[in-house]
Amino acid sequence: MLENPVSETFLLESFIDSPALNSKLEVEAALKQLPAVSAKSLHLSQTAFKQFNISTEKNYKNAPIATLNPSKPLKAETESLLKCATAVLPEEKKQVSELEQVPIQTLISTYFSFMILLIFAHVRDLLGKFFYPDQYKSLKEQDGYAPLISDFESLWNRRLYTRISDVFNRPITGVAGGHVNLLERTSKDNNRTFQLTGKKTNVLNLASYNYLGFAQSQGYCADQVEKMILEHGISTCTSRLHGGHTSLLSQTEQLVANFVGTEDAIIISMGYSTNSSVLPLLVQKGCLLISDELNHSSLVAGSRLSGATIAVFKHNNPEDLEQVLRKSISQGQPRTHRPWKKILVVVEGLYSMEGELCNLRGIIALKQKYKFNLYVDEAHSIGAVGKRGRGICDLLNIDPKQVDILMGTFTKSFGAVGGYIAGNKSLISMLRLMAHTSVYAESMPIPVLEQVASSLRLIMDDVPECKGEGLARINQLADNSAYFMGKLKQMGFLVLGSKGSPVVPLLLFNPGKIPAFSHECTKRNMAVVVVSYPATPIISGRVRFCLSASHTREDLNLALKHIDEIGDLLQLKLLKK
């Protein structure tokens, strides 16, 4: 966003009421006069954002954004902001071009580091087995029992993961909001076991999926949840079809359907099983499931369970999908050449590891011709993207009815857990009866259900006493994401992801930098998620920042300042000119 001073002035214009900068022309003229345009624009933007932030903060505390600035319609403001925030839609292949800019020495040193790590791992294993055979007993056949954990498979965990396991599974307490209380822990045996020290530190939370800031213990949602707990209890202790179907569930499902824009929706008590148990109902043997190569593990598990033939297309590449479709439809089923019963294309709305938005428009363009069904997993995009927070379809102006199955979760934007499937009536009725979770698993607990319902009502602006709050959150998130990503890029970091994505992955490459980044962040009171192989390709270990509407501009500026420092320290600014 800050790369282009002209587009920036458009943005500035909508926010600044200062007399010196009240017209677009003046700003442009001012910028032209200055020799160091970028430096000045940076400064300007900072002041502008500071002002904006103060005003939004006020809005947050006092309520609606619209009342504060009645002369300017809220919509126009939002739109201009979003135009900038989501100006670049995913049709360009950004990731490839950025990876190409990576200095070759970084790639070589990354591979070299992994090589050394692996050599050390093997040598340590070898020596360990020789000197302390007792510790390795469980990896060998014993008394006629095969080892439960195979030696080779666990090498990575034992020798590489354990070295840095202190940066994962970190325990917290309290609400995972904009800030979170981290429980300090120590290890006396090289990360094999941890002990809590009892100390707590309040850190800035750039780790939790709390996009719209609904992880709260106070406010409208929490009040509603409290009311519902007192009225309806906590758990139903049974499955949906066996007496666990509550009227609250029916109402919330209708709410979800209205929100997503489909005929009907079903709520499932766990996000992971939403994918893994619904896919087998949609495709069976004799069907073809075409999956994006970077789909989430739950989709992979569901695909495998289904028994359908699985084909894969290149990540976010409709041309490749078309090739796969042409080939598979014309050739039919392997060996028998019978036509496929049906074809299901499975993609994600926002790829959480890449922060990349799906090229849904390109895929939908193929739908008419190739007659496939489309399954979009909106686990990360629902609530988080789009003008009204209604996901990828809202963002790209696509009619949700063009997508056959819209799946999403409540973990990320709604501060709850669980997931939903939205689609037409016949599909949802079938799922109500046949989804594994309807028959064999617990129905959604009451507090979680009410959290979903109340946050949805806020986003849909259905709550008279909190008018505009949902929209303010959506705007704040879009603004935060765009600002944060723009700043990181400006600093010269290698950042992946589409503009407008609330997930911002920053590539770290070298395995040594992965724990180092996390440790440096913890030192500076920030919580971040670092990810490495096997969750990512071996070369591109990364840190993933998740932005939230509950971050203020001060929070982000502080975070950026620290990340800037860490970037210098760890030499991460690979694109610095």
Partner 1 sequence: MSLQIIKNTKIVLFGALSILLFSLAGSRANEDSYIKTGTQDNFDSQNPQNFFSIGARFVIRYIKSSYRNDPFRTFLEACLVFFIIWYVSRQKYRMNQTEVELSEKEVDELISEWKPEPLVRALTSVEQTILTNTPIINSPNTIIAELSTGTTAINFTSFDFLGIMNSEGAKAKAVQTLRNYGVGPCGPPGFFGTLDVHIELETTIAQFLKAEAAILYSQGMAVCVSVIPCFSKRGDIIVADEKVNFMLQQGIKLSRSKVYWYKHNDMEDLDRVLALANQNSSKKKGSIPRKFIISEGLFQYTGNIIKLNKVMELKNKHKFRLILDDSLAIGVLGSRGAGSTDHFNISAKSIDLLIGSLWGVFGGAGGFCCASKELIGHQRLSGLGYVFSAAMPAIMAITASDSIKRLEIDYILLLSALRKNISTLRNLLNEIDGVEILGDDFSPVIHVELKNEHYFKMIKSSNTGINTSDEISRNQMVEILCGITNEMQNSGVLVVQDIYIVDQEHNVPKPSIRILLSGGHSIEHLEKLSQELKKAIKV
Rule CB under 8 A: which of 342-381 touch partner 1? 342-344, 369-373
Which CB, 74 or 347, lies closer to partner 1? 347
Helix axes 469-491, 446-459, angle to 10 degrees: 80
Which CB, 475 or 532, lies closer to partner 1? 532
Beta strand 373-377 with 343-348: parallel, antiparallel or unpaired? parallel
Which CB, 82 or 529, lies closer to partner 1? 529
Of 364, 421, 448, 559, which lies in the binding site for partner 1, with binding defined by CB under 8 A? 448
Of 234, 365, 538, 569, which lies in the binding site for partner 1, with binding defined by CB under 8 A? 234
Q: Cβ 36 to partner 1, closest distance in Å?
A: 40
| Token reading at 353 | 């590891």
- Scanning 19-27, 63-71, 223-231, 385-393 for contacts with partner 1 by CB under 8 A, the matching segment is 223-231
Does 197 help bind partner 1 (rule: CB under 8 A)?
A: no
Of 4, 46, 69, 246, which lies in the binding site for partner 1, with binding defined by CB under 8 A? 246
**107: amino acid identity, one letter:** L
Distance, in Å, from the CA atom of 402 to the CA atom of 399, rounded to the nearest integer, reads: 6
What residues numbered 15-34 form the site for partner 1, per CB under 8 A? none
What residues numbered 301-340 form the site for partner 1, per CB under 8 A? 301, 304-305, 325-326, 329-331, 334-335, 337, 339-340
- Scanning 69-77, 111-119, 231-239, 468-476 for contacts with partner 1 by CB under 8 A, the matching segment is 231-239
Distance, in Å, from the CA atom of 221 to the CA atom of 414, rounded to the nearest integer, reads: 10
What residues numbered 170-189 form the site for partner 1, per CB under 8 A? 170-177, 180, 182-183
Q: For the beta carbon of residue 108, count every other beta carbon within 10 angstroms.
A: 10
Of 426, 538, 561, 571, which lies in the binding site for partner 1, with binding defined by CB under 8 A? 426
Question: What does the H/E/C string look like for 110-127?
Answer: HHHHHHHHHHHHHHHHHH
Q: Cβ 55 to partner 1, closest distance in Å?
A: 27
| 523 CB-contact burial (10 Å; exposed 0-12 / middle 13-18 / buried 19+) | exposed
Q: Cβ 99 to partner 1, closest distance in Å?
A: 23
Which CB, 133 or 233, lies closer to partner 1? 233
Backbone angles phi, psi at 179, to 5 degrees: -120, 155
What lies within 8 Å, CB to CB, of 254 at 6+ separation is 265
Backbone angles phi, psi at 326, to 5 degrees: -60, -45
Chain-centroid distance of CA 255 in Å reads 23
Does 410 help bind partner 1 (rule: CB under 8 A)?
A: yes
Distance, in Å, from the CA atom of 1 to the CA atom of 179, rounded to the nearest integer, reads: 26
Does 135 help bind partner 1 (rule: CB under 8 A)?
A: no
Q: Cβ 222 to partner 1, closest distance in Å?
A: 6
**Total residues contacting partner 1 (rule CB under 8 A)?**
124
Tokens 């893994």, residue located: 276
Distance, in Å, from the CA atom of 274 to the CA atom of 438, rounded to the nearest integer, reads: 11
